[in-house]
Amino acid sequence: MRYHNITKEDMLNGDGLRVVLWVSGCSHCCKECHNPVTWDPAGGLLFDEEAKQEIFEQLNKSYISGITFSGGDPLHAANRLDVRNLIMEIKESYPDKTIWVYTGDVWENVMHYAMMEDIDVLVDGEFQIEKKDNRLLWKGSSNQRVIDVKATLKQPNPKIPVLHCGDYA
């Protein structure tokens, strides 16, 4: 896996104060994406032990609520296995920290991925400039959904996602 940045103490990409891993690789290429530099799966830096240690040092802080995976797309084929392994390691070491994942894909296509069991919130859907609304909570366009993965997987029909929050604060 490759990545572009690790943001520390972020308040814009999920509940609470978070660390954000910006991965490389996205096939959605949304019009007016705010981060097109992350589209190339071969771009950025190799995610190595030093990068992982940087994330774990942040997660050790009691005031950090959790980690958000963004990019790029953490669920891009080039990232999926490494992201899954990192999520599992984080959940094992920090069971009380929340894990958020942003993807351009939709819940109905990714709900069967094994890693979903360890993800707390999934923000799904491509960014659509014509549906952009700066007032939206945790997402850029109104077609996207902020999904409570745990609650969704517990219900009889997990194909219908349970939303983590409303659209506006």
* Within-domain flag for 78: yes
**How does pLDDT run across 39-60, given as a tens digit for each residue?**
999 999 999 999 999 999 999 9
Residue position matching structure tokens 């899954």: 84
* Within-domain flag for 165: no
* Within-domain flag for 8: yes
List beta partners, residue 141: 132
* Within-domain flag for 162: no
pLDDT computed for residue 34 by the predictor: 86
* Within-domain flag for 32: yes
pLDDT for 67 beyond 70: yes
pLDDT for 169 beyond 80: no
**How does pLDDT run across 109-167, given as a tens digit for each residue?**
999 999 999 999 999 999 999 999 999 999 999 999 999 999 999 999 999 999 998 88
Mean pLDDT of the chain: 96
Question: Structurally, how many domains does the chain consist of?
Answer: 1
Which of the four pLDDT bands, split at 50, 70 and 90, describes residue 17?
Answer: very high
* Within-domain flag for 57: yes
Range of the domain at 133: 2-154
Residue position matching structure tokens 């659209």: 167
* Within-domain flag for 56: yes
Secondary structure letter of residue 161 according to DSSP: P
